[in-house]
Amino acid sequence: MNLNKLVQAAIFAAMAIGLGFMFMLVPNLEFISVTVFLAGMTLGLPYGILVGGTAMMIYSVMNPLGSGLIYITLLLGQIIAMAGVGCVGSLSSQFVKKGKSLTQSISAGVIGFLCALWYDGITTLAYPISAGFTWDETIAYGISGLLFTFMHLVSNVIIFSVVVPGYLKRLEN
C-alpha cells in the first residue's frame, strides 16, 4: 500500500466521520456518502472501499444516538452499502471528470440519487429480513420509511450536484 494514499484515505475517513457527527441531528441530511464518493474518485477503488467501510463502521459504532453494535446485521449492511459508495466513486471518476460544469453537476446528482437509493435499499432490507419478518412485513417496513428515503434521495442529489463539481474545480486549480 502506498503510504501517501493511506494517509489521504485516513483524512477522508476522518472528514466523513466528522461531517456525520456534525449533521447527525438533521434527518437524512448527510455528507458521509459524498465524502466517501470523493475518496473513491480521488484515491481509487481499494481506498474508496476502505474509506467507506471504515468511516461508516466508526460513525455507526460511536454514534451517541444509538450504536450500530445494537444490531450487527444493520451495521454490516451500512458498512457494505457505504463501501459500495466508495466503489462507485472510483468507477465513475473518469465519466464525471470529463464533462463541463453543468454536465458534471447533472451526472453527480444522478450518481448521488443512485448512491442514496443503494444505501437506503440495503439498510432498509437488512433489519427486517434478518429479524425474521415475512415479505409482507418487510414491504410494510419499507413503505413506512418512504418519506425519509425520499428526503435522503433529494438531499443527496443536491449535495452531490454542488459538492462534486466544486471539488473537481478545486483540483484543477
pLDDT in tens, 13-55: 999 999 999 999 998 899 999 999 999 999 999 999 999 999 9
Residue-level pLDDT at 98: 85
Residue-level pLDDT at 88: 97
The grid coordinates of residue 67 equal 450504536
Separation of alpha carbons 172 and 57, rounded Å: 32
Residue-level pLDDT at 34: 98
Residue-level pLDDT at 129: 82
Separation of alpha carbons 145 and 88, rounded Å: 25
Residue-level pLDDT at 127: 85
Q: Give the model confidence (pLDDT) of 103-120 as tens digits.
A: 999 999 999 999 999 999
The grid coordinates of residue 96 equal 464525471
Number of structural domains found in the chain: 1
Mean pLDDT of the chain: 93
SS3 at position 63: coil
Angstrom distances, CA of residue 6 to CA of 43, 48, 50, 86, 99? 9, 11, 9, 15, 28
53 versus 65: which is more confidently predicted?
53
The grid coordinates of residue 167 equal 471539488
Which domain range does residue 10 map to? 3-172
What DSSP element (H or E) covers 9?
helix 3-22
Q: What is the CATH classification number for the domain harbouring 154?
A: 1.10.1760.20
What DSSP element (H or E) covers 117?
helix 101-130
